[in-house]
Amino acid sequence: MSRRGTWRWALTAAGIMQIGIALAHFGLQYEWRGVDGGSLPAQLRWALFALNFSWSTVVLAVGILMVYAARLNTNTPFLRATIFSVGLFWTMHGIYMVVMPMPVPARLAWIQGPIVAFPIMVVLLQWLPLVLTRHQSEPPRMSASLPAR
């Protein structure tokens, strides 16, 4: 497969994965709507839902942008920096999930694997194309000559 082909399929796959996780998190808003918050203050309960909604919105937007980026020129410096930055976000998110695992009941212990695997896969799918096309991404050099007067 060509480097351009890898760029397209890998970034599209990363974008689809991010869109999927965003939609799943939007679904959490629905799933948890009737759960008793116990002694949790109403403001804190609201904040948890607001943060989840905002996080889901950002990840949905980034996923859509990744699918769009898959169709763009591989040598655009801003595009490459953006893809790298999103990968950096997922790297930090993945590290956090390993260092501070989500507490889950014993019957859901299996979910820890996919929770850690997701950011690893997204980062690989975003950074692999950057590595494979790095020599194609040299920006055009500006001429050092001054205009004639």
The confidence score (pLDDT) of residue 148 equals: 65
Q: Is the predicted pLDDT of residue 33 greater than 90, yes or no?
A: no
- Measured CA to CA, the distance from residue 87 to residue 81 in angstroms comes to 10
What is the per-residue pLDDT across 64-75, written as a single tens digit (0 to 9) for each?
999 999 999 888
What is the per-residue pLDDT across 84-138, written as a single tens digit (0 to 9) for each?
999 999 999 999 999 999 998 899 899 999 999 999 999 999 999 999 998 764 5
Nearest to 70 by CA among 130, 138, 29, 123: 130
E strand or H helix at 97: helix 77-99
Q: Where does residue 38 fall: left (phi above 0), alpha (psi -120 to 50 degrees), or beta otherwise?
A: left
Question: 0.75 cut: is pTM over it?
Answer: yes
